[in-house]
Structure 1
Amino acid sequence: MARKISIIGSGFSALSAACYLAKAGNDVSIYEKNSTVGGRARQLKRDGFTFDIGPSWYWMPDIFEKFFNDFGKSTKDYYQLDKLSPAYKIFFADEVITIGDHMDKICEEFERIETGSSKPLRAFIAKAQDNYDIAINKIVLRPGLSPLELVTKETVSRVDQFFKTISSEVRKNFKNPKLV
């Protein structure tokens, strides 16, 4: 007999959980306070304009693709991503900073703002990529049957990072307030 499961909220995580639970044979109901599903991934339409409420970035494309693959589909079956160039702009009172669409352009902009900043930026991004790969492969994609699954050589060697903020790491590498 199918279990009845209620999910409150309809963000990406809630929707994906509902899909997996339903695929396993459960009777799933989703309750959402807004008139549309998607959590932060919604739009506001007003006076002929469309505003994305969020998210600002398309994080974890590999996880989205895995989700769709688990149901015999691909992200390409439902949407197309268009790379923005520039990626975005940051408006300050005295200038506009343009963030390019690839690392070389971003490094050039960082160097313009703070000489010598491109080297720590590249190191920061490389470390972030390494941490992401470990987090996905050694934590997120584990079956979750025991907390001991999380104890690996890679995760234990980074345990100190659980007690740091990204902000503190950024401030160690960059001094210009527009980069922190």
Structure 2
Amino acid sequence: MAVTQQLARVPAEYLAACRRSAEESPDGDHRWDPPAEDCLDLDWAPLMLERACELTRLDAGLLDALKRATDGDDDIDLRFLNTGLHAIAFFGNSEPTALGPDAVARVSALLGEIDMRAILRSVVDSGAGSELGQGFIGDPTEYLLHHFDALLEFYEGAARRGLLVVLWWD
């Protein structure tokens, strides 16, 4: 089973209810189960997107926004989501992270400024596609554009609704 980047957009109240459930449950069951339409599987794309942006020397502020969109922040304690039988990040992966609604709005706006199509065209045209990693064979443009567009749409929806984004690798 491959390890892939997972995201969920949730209201602060939902996260608080999960925390209470974990505290009150004898086995730490947090009852984490966000709706499917508020979840996103980015597969292995995050590291490849980041590398493409580094190769084309994307503006540091925009690159930081992309990294935050896929790394989250450590400001919100989510250890309760990754303990015992009910862990959401299996196989000893790093702890889940999150972005609060204000950070989600900032990241969403900055992601919208990234011209990923031009970045990927530059990487492919320069012959640097093999430097993206993950053993990708062929032109990665369609794969990466699909995942970047999904990430952008996901964050725009979260920002519009004032939601948090929780991230983990599973």
Please tell me the TM-score bracket, short chain as reference.
Answer: under 0.3
TM-score, normalised relative to structure 1: 0.22
TM-score, normalised relative to structure 2: 0.23
Greater CA radius of gyration, 1 or 2? 1
RCO comparison, higher one (Cα < 8 Å, 6+): 2
